[in-house]
Amino acid sequence: MKAKVYLDRNESQFPLSPACRGIIKSKYQKYLLRYTDKSIDSVQNKLLEKLQNLTGIDKTNIALGDGCEEILKICFDHFIKKGDKVLLADKSWGHYKTLIEAAGGAPVYFNLAENRDRYRYDIASFKKNYKKYSPKIVIITSPNNPTGNSIQFKLLCDFIKTAKKSIFILDQAYWGFEDENKNQLKKILTMHNKILITRSFSKYLGMPGIRLGYCIAGDYFKSVKESLNPYLGFNQLSILLGLSALNDLSYYKKIAKIISDEKQKYYDGLKNSKIFKIYKTDTNFLIIKFLPTLEKELRDSVEASTFSLSFPKEEANKYLLRITISDPAINKKVLSLLLRIDKRSR
Ligand SMILES: Cc1ncc(COP(=O)(O)O)c(C=O)c1O
């Protein structure tokens, strides 16, 4: 049997950039023979300087980690005391709950609303539940997983103002699909001293396997940043690949354009469906709500196919189907399967 194409993990479906592909054969091999060199010439420092350039944030306020997952875990372990509440959207990444509960915290939720063709953050629902729960930590994910929507800057500022008493985590694991605005980033950090922003190399830069992410955070998170800085240093191969990817941003821009064009084919194909509701996303995946009566047929058809799609398990994410965008030939197969089911239901 042919191996499955995994479209249920939001992993990039595209090759490494040319600079990354060349890395093992290159002069950089020497870095793999050493622990992290903490000098000014180290690749780790070069990566921090690159991130400083990209974000406009001083590198002393940037810390690297083994992906956003490690950063979030350290942050939760550090701040959550038994029974502390963490407020997040009801439709959110399922693993937050595991990490929060492992640290002794209790996740509580506000409702993520929807417009005609997009999910959206809703300040009224947030304010109501912020008051109700007085959470120790708030998590806003932008773009969000699994709904793919971003929060607009002005609305984000309203969320931050509402949550002044809490630690505010802005998870931007899906950073990159929209242009960076350095002024906005600076403004967010000056609005509230308890803000931590996480970003990943797993999504836009397509390398979940290198386990690399970073956070932007001020002095309030000094001990989190210290915990992220291991005595013997970082995986140099990951740092080299991360640095090469950031030196190749034009490549990723082209991939983002392909992803955007491919998403349009799904939107066009399913826009008149009575059984699937497709939402606009700002990510490398799209999200579809399906009629509950179709669940078995849909699951069986996907099971029998050559690809896997994600049916998020959490109660609030029920009847949602998340599809990572792949290359045009595979996307065509996925769309054809959905259209066949759509046709049978008429
Ligand atoms: C919203 C969100 N945050 C964080 C992560 C973890 O990212 P990383 O691969 O950088 O650990 C994921 C992974 O899917 C995610 O969806």
Determine the Cα angle at 68 with ends 63 and 74, to 5°.
70
Average pLDDT over the chain reads 93
12: Cβ below 6 Å to ligand 1?
Answer: no
Q: Is residue 6 over pLDDT 90? A: no
Q: How far is the CA of 249 from the centre of ligand 1 (A)?
A: 20
Query: How far out from the chain centre does Cα 337 lie?
Result: 27
Closest ligand 1 atom to the C-alpha of 202?
9
Q: How far is the CA of 190 from the centre of ligand 1 (A)?
A: 25
pTM: 0.93
318 SS3 class: coil
Q: How far is the CA of 201 from the centre of ligand 1 (A)?
A: 9
CATH topology of domain 5-15+250-344: Aspartate Aminotransferase, domain 1 (3.90.1150)
Q: Is residue 188 over pLDDT 80? A: yes
Q: How far is the CA of 65 from the centre of ligand 1 (A)?
A: 12
Of all protein residues, the one whose alpha carbon is nearest to atom 12 of ligand 1 is 173
Q: How far is the CA of 143 from the centre of ligand 1 (A)?
A: 11
Of all protein residues, the one whose alpha carbon is nearest to atom 3 of ligand 1 is 173
Residues in the chain: 346
pLDDT of residue 28: 66
- CA quadruple 161, 162, 163, 165: dihedral, nearest 10: 90
pLDDT tens for each residue of 192-232:
999 999 999 999 999 999 999 999 999 999 999 999 998 88
Q: How far is the CA of 95 from the centre of ligand 1 (A)?
A: 9
202: Cβ below 6 Å to ligand 1?
Answer: yes
Q: How far is the CA of 345 from the centre of ligand 1 (A)?
A: 35
pLDDT tens for each residue of 313-339:
888 889 999 999 999 999 999 999 999
Q: How confident is the model at residue 73 (pLDDT cuts 50, 70, 90)?
A: very high
Q: Is residue 24 over pLDDT 90? A: no
24 SS3 class: helix
Q: Give residue 197's region: left, alpha or beta (phi > 0; psi -120 to 50).
A: beta
pLDDT tens for each residue of 142-169:
999 999 999 999 999 999 999 999 999 9
65: Cβ below 6 Å to ligand 1?
Answer: no
Q: How many CB atoms lie within 10 A of CB 226?
A: 10
Same fold, 5-15+250-344 and 18-247: no
145: Cβ below 6 Å to ligand 1?
Answer: yes
pLDDT of residue 301: 96
Q: How far apart are CA 224 and CA 18, in angstroms?
A: 34
Instruction: Give CATH for domain 18-247.
Output: 3.40.640.10
pLDDT of residue 22: 72
Q: Is residue 87 over pLDDT 80? A: yes
214: Cβ below 6 Å to ligand 1?
Answer: no
Q: Where exactly are the structural domains of the chain?
A: 5-15+250-344, 18-247
Closest ligand 1 atom to the C-alpha of 71?
11
| 7 backbone dihedrals φ, ψ, rounded to 5° | -115, 25
